[in-house]
Amino acid sequence: MLDVFQNKNMKPTILILCTGNSCRSHIGEGFLRAALSDLANVQSAGSKPAGYVHPLAIKVMAEVGIDISAHRSKPLTEFLRQPVHTVITVCGNADQVCPIFPGQLNRHHWPFFDPAHATGTDEEKLAVFRRVRDEIKMVFEAYAAGRRDQSKAA
């Protein structure tokens, strides 16, 4: 049997966690997949998955040319029996309940406001989703650039 921890040809898995796995983690997954598709297997999950990807998250990502409409909300338990190289939590609740995954080498915690909690008119809610998307984009694209630099040096 092939030991997945020893297979150097496998792309490392980067798992992005939040509580509901409906907004922030999918936005981060979208940006990292776009930036690292050849270097990593990027996934997202939630400690208490909402069961859907928020329509406004799908909309604001489409505005920047990234389609997350086929993403699904899933529990972090789906990943407990497979090697996860890096875990990134994007909310405090997920950071507090985050287990250690097989093969985990890195863990980062970058909290962002949950745009699903935005109130006001539809346009005001959309503005919050755009702001959070842009914040996540800045952090995750900087992280992706560092990963690409590391892979060139290896």
Q: pLDDT tens digit string along 38-93?
A: 899 999 999 999 999 999 999 999 999 999 999 999 999 999 888 999 999 998 77
Catalytic, 98? Answer: yes
pLDDT at 72: 96
Is 23 a catalytic site residue? Answer: no
Residue 131, H or E segment = helix 122-153
Q: What is the pLDDT of residue 94?
A: 66
* pTM score: 0.89
Q: From CA 22, how far away is CA 87, in angstroms rounded?
A: 17
pLDDT score recorded for residue 2: 34
**136 or 149, which is more confident?**
136
- Catalytic position from the list 14, 16, 18, 27: 18
13-147, what's its fold?
Answer: Rossmann fold (3.40.50)
Residue-level pLDDT at 1: 31
14, 91, 128, 136: which one is catalytic? 91
Of the listed 68, 98, 128, 144, which one is catalytic? Answer: 98
